[in-house]
Structures are given as structure tokens and as C-alpha cells.
């Protein structure tokens, strides 16, 4: 059940020891903004990594008071790990991020200042994708969103409808019984998201 937290950042981890520090450091930077004081949590789900990923996560527990760890006893895959994060989250909104990605903290500061947007089911972000040292900025059609803001950097290629492009209402996900399924292609993931969320009128 969601509590007084505004955003749960759900971090899925599988053999990403070389990226974890950068990811958690970027999330921890939100703690320096007064707008985020006691307003968010970081929920890291370690999917039975065989490297030192979990040990690195544990080392951050003493540095980030709002970090919670889940350690899967067996590998269940990224979709089920995200679903576990949804079930264990305590905030009104959910943001999914993989351990090899990181956020631009100042943009979340801009978002949280606009309190009226937290009445929506879904918030859509612009993103930048870093591929071979070149940045690309995908465009989102105006028909898909009334306004776009913020930014997220990702070190791998992606599709328009990947989950880290959105801030989800937890209540909406649970009400619609929307959980991520084990789907191999990003195209099918995108179709699933479109089918669920384009039905909602509350999209920013």
C-alpha cells in the first residue's frame, strides 16, 4: 500500500556491478533537494546476480537511508523483478530504472514542483539515448501527450514505449491489474503499454 512517499524508484539489478555506483549516486542526488525530503524511496531488486552486484548494493545501505533491498533467491527475470517492486513499493508513483542507467536529478526537481501533475495516471518523459558516444533525442507526437518534460539518459538503444520513459501511478497499475509479462521483444512490450495507457485520459 502506498504511504506518504511520492515516488518509488524501482531499480532492477542483474550482474551490473560496474554500473551500480553511478545509478545509485544519481538517485541519491535527489536527497539534496528540499522538494524531495522524505518524498521518495529507492527499491533495488537484485535478481540473483552472480557477480558482486548485491554486495555493492549493501554498501549503499549505510549511505542512503531511503534505500530498500530485495534479494531474489533465484533468477526470475526483469519483468517479474519489476512486478515484485510494484508490490513492495510504498509511493504514489513508480519509476523503473535499470542498474546500468542513471537519471538527471535536476529534472525530477522540476517535476515535483508542479504538484498538479500528480493527479495523472501517466507522465511521459523526453529521453536521451547514448549510443557509440552520440546522443539522440527521440520525438514524441503531440497526440501522445499534452506536455513533455524532464530527461533520462540511457546507455543502450530503446523504443519509444520502454518502461523507463514513464512515471506510473501505482494505484492505476493495481486498479487495471497491469503487471509486466515476460515478453522477448521490445515491440510487444511497447504494444502492451500503449494498449493499457492510451485508454486513460489522465496522461501528461
Per-domain boundaries in the chain: 5-123+164-182
Torsion of CA 10, 13, 18, 21, to 10 degrees: 30
Given this model, what pLDDT does residue 64 score?
Answer: 94
pLDDT in tens, 143-174: 343 333 333 344 344 445 577 778 888 988 88
Given this model, what pLDDT does residue 137 score?
Answer: 45
pLDDT in tens, 172-196: 888 877 666 654 444 344 435 545 5
Given this model, what pLDDT does residue 79 score?
Answer: 86
Given this model, what pLDDT does residue 189 score?
Answer: 45
Q: CA 74, 78, 84, 89 torsion: positive or negative? A: positive
Residue 10 has pLDDT above 50, yes or no: yes
CA angle 36/62/2 to nearest 5° reads: 45
C-beta separation of 81 from 97 below 8 A = no
Given this model, what pLDDT does residue 108 score?
Answer: 79
The CATH class of the 5-123+164-182 domain is alpha beta
* Reported pTM: 0.76
CA count, 13 A, side-chain hemisphere, 181? 11
Residue 127 has pLDDT above 50, yes or no: yes
Mean pLDDT of all residues belonging to the chain: 76
Amino acid at each position: 500500500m502506498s504511504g506518504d512517499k511520492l515516488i518509488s524508484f524501482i531499480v532492477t539489478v542483474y550482474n551490473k556491478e560496474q554500473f551500480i555506483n553511478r545509478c545509485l549516486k544519481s538517485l541519491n542526488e535527489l536527497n539534496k533537494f528540499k522538494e524531495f525530503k522524505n518524498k521518495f524511496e529507492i527499491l533495488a531488486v537484485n535478481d540473483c546476480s552472480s557477480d558482486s552486484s548485491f554486495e555493492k548494493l549493501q554498501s549503499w545501505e549505510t549511505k542512503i537511508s531511503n534505500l530498500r533491498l530485495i534479494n531474489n533467491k533465484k533468477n526470475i527475470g526483469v519483468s517479474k523483478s519489476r512486478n515484485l517492486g510494484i508490490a513492495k513499493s510504498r509511493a504514489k508513483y513508480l519509476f523503473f530504472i535499470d542498474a546500468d542507467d542513471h537519471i538527471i536529478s535536476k529534472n525530477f526537481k522540476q517535476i515535483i514542483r508542479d504538484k498538479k501533475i500528480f493527479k495523472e495516471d501517466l507522465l511521459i518523459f523526453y529521453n536521451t539515448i547514448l549510443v557509440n558516444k552520440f546522443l539522440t533525442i527521440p520525438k514524441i507526437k503531440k497526440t501522445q501527450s499534452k506536455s513533455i518534460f524532464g530527461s533520462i539518459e540511457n546507455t543502450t538503444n530503446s523504443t519509444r514505449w520502454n518502461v523507463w520513459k514513464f512515471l506510473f501511478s501505482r494505484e492505476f497499475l493495481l486498479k487495471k491489474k497491469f503487471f509486466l509479462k515476460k515478453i522477448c521483444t521490445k515491440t510487444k512490450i511497447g504494444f502492451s503499454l500503449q494498449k493499457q495507457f492510451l485508454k486513460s485520459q489522465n496522461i501528461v
